Amino acid sequence: MTSADGDFSGFEVDFRDKTIRVTPAPNVIIDKSSLENWTAFKQWKCTLEDMVTLQHTQQDQAGASHEDPWEFRSLEILSVYWSASHITLMIMRPHITRAKAPNTLPAVTLLWGDNVALLMVLSLEDSWDEKLVVMTEQPHVSAGSLGFREIVTEMLDEQIEVMGATRRGVEARIEQLVSQPNLIDLTDLASRDSQLRNTKLNYPKPGLCDGHISIFLWEMVLNREEIDYLRGRMISHRIWGREPRLRLVDYEDLWREGARDVRTLAAWAIYEGLSRSGILQEEMEKRALARGLN
């Protein structure tokens, strides 16, 4: 976990047109190569670079005046958690300052990377107004719950891509093929007009950690026999005590069933907004046309 280009006393990383000093806390093992190659850090640094640059051109969106911009000065790494040779979680303190008061941002940050949330919507073949959503139910001790309901969610690591995560989280459990053409990136659709590179992410707790979510939609039309089959499979999973348990809920009740889970509410809100604006229908029509041409 150490290398020739860094040691425990610190090292430097590039940030825009300058270098930033990185100082690990005592007994923290981290080196320049491991940090710069960690996807979570790369995404965080990329977004911050965009925001610092944008301050000089667009005051409102960047959140600071170009006359007194925030600048990233240095970085303290307070703690690093490893899994074999891969970083899984990092606590750090970026030093971001400007000339006028308040001149320092409180910025202890937890980095842990990306999640994929999958909104699985099943429409009935004989009733387009009737929709169901696949939810999971499992214990989440940190939430004080032994039966926490949420849409399907998987962590991304350094080796797995979105498709791998969604298949791992869904396909093995209900034996339904989730293929790439059927996945629609809702966060990307909702933020296509943004000038920032990493805005196709949803941040549940931006005041503390970088933990962000890419929300995807997988929508399929099934007949009632197929729906009944899925219900049976889910019941058998519950009987055998498998975790997480899977449930089918009415789409109209999704906001209520998932009221405790920010990922579920975010997926529901974005899906509703894109549907009402016509953007989602337009995207689906484009994909259908492309499949027809191929």
Q: Which domains does the chain have, with CATH numbers?
A: 11-111 (no CATH), 114-202+211-293 (3.90.79.10)
Q: What is the pTM of this model?
A: 0.70
Q: Are 229 and 81 in contact (CB under 8 A)?
A: no
Arithmetic mean of pLDDT, 113-124: 85
Nearest to 173 by CA among 137, 200, 128, 123: 137
152-175 pLDDT, tens digit per residue, is 887 555 444 544 554 454 544 454
pLDDT band at 177 (very low <50, low <70, confident <90, very high): very low
Q: Is the pLDDT of residue 231 over 90?
A: no
pLDDT band at 211 (very low <50, low <70, confident <90, very high): low
The pLDDT score that the predictor gives to residue 275 is 94
9-44 pLDDT, tens digit per residue, is 799 999 988 999 999 999 898 999 999 999 889 988
179-208 pLDDT, tens digit per residue, is 445 789 898 898 877 655 555 556 655 555
- Of these ranges, 50-54, 74-78, 189-193, 262-266, the one predicted with the greatest mean pLDDT is 74-78
Q: Is the pLDDT of residue 149 over 80?
A: yes
The token duo for 251 is 């789409």
pLDDT band at 5 (very low <50, low <70, confident <90, very high): very low
In whole angstroms, what is the distance from residue 46 CA to residue 16 CA?
Answer: 9
The pLDDT score that the predictor gives to residue 31 is 93
